[in-house]
Amino acid sequence: MLVPQPRPGNGPLPESVTHRAPVVVTISSGRIRGEHDGRVEVFRGIPYAAAPTGSHRFRPPARAATWSGVRDARAYGPAAPQNPDPVLEQMFGLPPSAHDETSCLTVNVWTPQSGSGRRPVLVWIHGGGFLTGAGSDPVFDGGRLVQQHDVVLVTVNYRLGAFGFLHLAEVLGHRYASSGNTGLLDQRAALAWVRDNIATFGGDPRNVTLFGQSAGAFSVVAHLASPGSAGLFHKAIVQSGSGEGAATVDRAGEVTRAFLDELGIAPRAAADLLTRPTADLLRAQETVTRAWQARGDGVGLAFLPLVDGTVLPRTPVDAIGAGAARGVPLLLGSNRDEGRMFTVLGPGSVGDLPEDALVAVFAAHHADPGRALDAYRSVQADASPAGLLGALIGERLFGGPTRRLAEAQAAGGGAVWRYRFDWSSSAHGGRLGACHSLELPFVFDNLDVAGVDRFTGPRPPQELADVMSRCWAGFARTGDPGLWPAYEPEGRHVMLFDRVTAVAKDPDRTLRLLGP
């Protein structure tokens, strides 16, 4: 996720779009009115599930209510409940997304023409650490991607944080057995909505590509491993994700106890969570999140998909290695300097790090920290302590897991293509490099969206956006991105996306040989 939505909620349309031609279609819940925005048809804020409040809080999504008449679908729905994201505020100086628990479960659809054709469908799961984000963020606007490549794009809102990933089975019983994966079940319900309705928008329900970035990519991998999601999509794209970032029941139970303690609720009175105001839960979520981040273990996230034995029978990378995604072509990759997002921006940014502190951090992850530091120094353009810390973060959270996931898919008999995004931002004095999330405006071909240049720097290369968006759309169409060979453990071919794109063989060999 890059920027929050500029016009949240379902308020009146601005004057600049009121003249746009209306488009009315019929879906399973009733008739909706979208618009032709001068490029493509757009339908926003379409409910795919019932309000996740009252008896539905922390429970699987229920079917959306039907309506009579024509429902307006020209304004985005609100985001799922979330706290402000300080990184986004620092990057763009924009206010947080407006959110509302009652009406957050919506999708947005961009299509060249409704009711015509059977186009490839891309379904986008946004990132944000399972805590923030929305399918309405401007960088995800599908107009250019859809217009240029004749595809249909769907973006999804889903429950976040405690609302989507708080494990309550042990305190509220079997009716909440799936509460630790409610956010994943929301995404699955959105995929079912696509299956049932996308032909109305000119999409092919038999050719659906699920793609996402960061937490959205973790989600895509979870669906690849989840038996209940099988058949709802046919290809997958994983941008800066992992098949290793899933919680155990013990870990999730620890988060739940901390959450209840923060609210002053005894486990025997956990039913109070069902009626507590949204704001109370968000305050507790913020405290628990900060405490978990301070621990620094794993991916540092308190709320994650849960290996519960049902929605997720096992850790996703293990399931995929055993063939769970054999029939789903997979395109995946990471950014060369993922970790610089976290060392340069936000409250966790670092400046000068003492050498002994750097050695201690590396010792927590490598038995021989001196050897590891030498290896990182040999491949890093920025070998300062902050640069090396960023490199370690990026490799632990995204680079290594991406490589291991590619190898698991190949071992499981599935087709897989791997890329690395290497183009460096000139923003923030060039310190961001090719950091986490930087590929997003290139994939969506939205380099001209307001605020993006504060992240990319001025004049980012349009040619790179042309190449990446074409590869993503081509993969959605045929299951092959073109331009480079499939990944296999012998050759380890990786496409490097930069101002000049090139295929490299085993480009991260030095770090790979250090081991996990």
Active site residues: 214, 338, 436
> Any idea which residue has 């794209």 for tokens?
237
Which three-class secondary structure state does DSSP give residue 477?
Answer: helix
User: Using the 8-state DSSP alphabet, how is residue 481 labeled?
Assistant: -
DSSP letters for 54-86: GGGTTSPPPBPPP-SSEEE-SSPPPBPS----H
Single-letter amino acid, residue 362: F
Phi and psi based region of residue 278 (left: phi greater than 0; alpha: psi -120 to 50; beta: remaining): alpha
Q: Which amino acid is at 435?
A: C
Contact 73, 46 (CB under 8 A): yes
The 8-class DSSP code of residue 127 comes to -
Element containing residue 502 per DSSP (H, E): strand 502-505
Return d(Cα 125, Cα 509) in angstroms, integer. 30
Quick one: which H or E segment has residue 260? helix 249-263
Q: Hey, how many other C-beta atoms are within 10 angstroms of the C-beta on 404?
A: 18
Contact between 329 and 322 (Cβ < 8 Å): no
Ordered DSSP codes for 298-337? TTS-S---B--SSSSSS-HHHHHHTTTTTTS-EEEEEETT
Which three-class secondary structure state does DSSP give residue 470? helix
Q: What are phi and psi of 296, to 5 degrees?
A: 75, 15
Q: In which region does residue 252 sit, left (phi positive, over 0), alpha (psi from -120 to 50) or beta (all else)?
A: alpha
Give the residue from 59, 75, 67 showing the smallest Cα distance to 26. Answer: 67
Q: For residues 288-319, b (16+ Cβ closer than 10 Å) or e, as one string?
A: bbeebbeeeeebbbbbbbbbbeebbeebbbbb
Which distant-in-sequence residues (6+ apart) come within 8 Å of 367 by Cβ? none
